[in-house]
Structure 1
Amino acid sequence: MTLPAGFTLRPATVRDAALIQSQRTAMFTDMGSDAAGLARVHEAGAAWHARMLACGAYTGLLVESGGEVVAGAGILWTDLPPNADTAATTRAYVLNVYVQPAQRGRRLARTLMEAALAECRARGVDIVTLTASNAGRPTYEALGFVPQREMKLLLPPVNP
């Protein structure tokens, strides 16, 4: 894991929760999500990140340059039963991988992913999943990630 000169990697703290949510909003905006919808959930997202960072269910990794956070990634630790692939009960879901547009092309996302995978190995996690954007897919595939089958259902709100 090598960062370009002038860049440093640090763990996120609870104080970074709003910044992580802002990166998440920028990531989804880049992928074409509804900006108004993202704005509506900003505070709830920042509160979620603060809560998950505080209890250790989420590990954040941030890259700084010149005292400014320019990239980040997170790991959500989940407790799941063993399956045919692993006896381990902790799995990792990587999310919030984001690099500011002006900093892209410097392999910051790759370095963040390498740091995240090192943390997974250190915790004995052997199954790591993520959802890839088209832009991120080459980085993840180069690290050995393969597509998997996943389905999604959005349940409509229940009318009171």
Structure 2
Amino acid sequence: MTATLRAVVPSDCDLICKHRHDMFLAAGDADAAAAAMSPVYKAWQQQALRSGAYFGFIAEVDGTAIGGVGLMVVNWPPHQLHPDITQRGYVLNVFVEPEYRGKGIAKQMMAAADAELKRRGVTHAVLTATDQARPVYEKDGWQQTAQMAKQVF
């Protein structure tokens, strides 16, 4: 199945928030799902869409949104693995409605994401994957890294 992809626009804010919410619920993270619908997240999302800091694609079938992928370009210091790279693409909010999963929609969206990052001169990208999604990304050439996180109090 092939979906029609269109660029995200500021009026997609509620849809992106809903996809993010449903993405976290599908991953079993009810707390993150609730945070995705918070006024703070929505305000951040609206500002990022308006400024162009958040861009990406919405997948549609027969005019109905069935998925999406978000992208950002983040300034990043060079390091030994990428000594000449000062920015990274950040892929987030990858979501496909359950009834459309397994039909190549995510692969189509990720190919468009790769092309858009390349068009913007970005040569290295990162994302956070659930255990469920990791095999899908690995088939597309993504590799697990040793990145860790912590809450700073």
Mark yes or no: TM-score above 0.5.
yes
3-state SS of 1:77 partner: strand
Report the equivalent of 1:121.
Answer: 118
Report the equivalent of 2:146.
Answer: 149
3-state SS of 1:19 partner: helix
| Alpha carbons 2:21, 2:37 under 8 Å: kept | no
In structure 1, distance between residues paired with 2:30 and 2:94: 19
Q: How does 1:8-157 map to 2 (within 5 A)?
A: 8-34=4-30, 38=34, 41-84=37-80, 85-156=82-153
In structure 2, distance between residues paired with 1:40 and 1:71: 16
In structure 1, distance between residues paired with 2:45 and 2:23: 16
Aligned length: 152
In structure 2, distance between residues paired with 1:80 and 1:73: 21
In structure 1, distance between residues paired with 2:105 and 2:17: 19
The Cα RMSD (Å) is: 1.9
Q: Measured at CA, do residues 138 and 47 of structure 1 come closer, stay the same or move farther in structure 2, by a change above 3 Å?
A: same
Which stretches in structure 2 are left out of the alignment for 5+ residues?
A: none
The structure that has the greater radius of gyration is 1
Q: Measured at CA, do residues 113 and 37 of structure 1 come closer, stay the same or move farther in structure 2, by a change above 3 Å?
A: closer
In structure 2, distance between residues paired with 1:40 and 1:99: 16
Where has structure 1 moved over 4 Å in runs of 4 or more? none
3-state SS of 1:21 partner: helix
| Alpha carbons 1:57, 1:77 under 8 Å: kept | yes
TM-score (norm 1): 0.86
| Alpha carbons 1:88, 1:124 under 8 Å: kept | no
Structure 2 counterpart of 1:13, which letter? V
TM-score (norm 2): 0.90
In structure 1, distance between residues paired with 2:33 and 2:69: 22
In structure 2, distance between residues paired with 1:45 and 1:59: 16
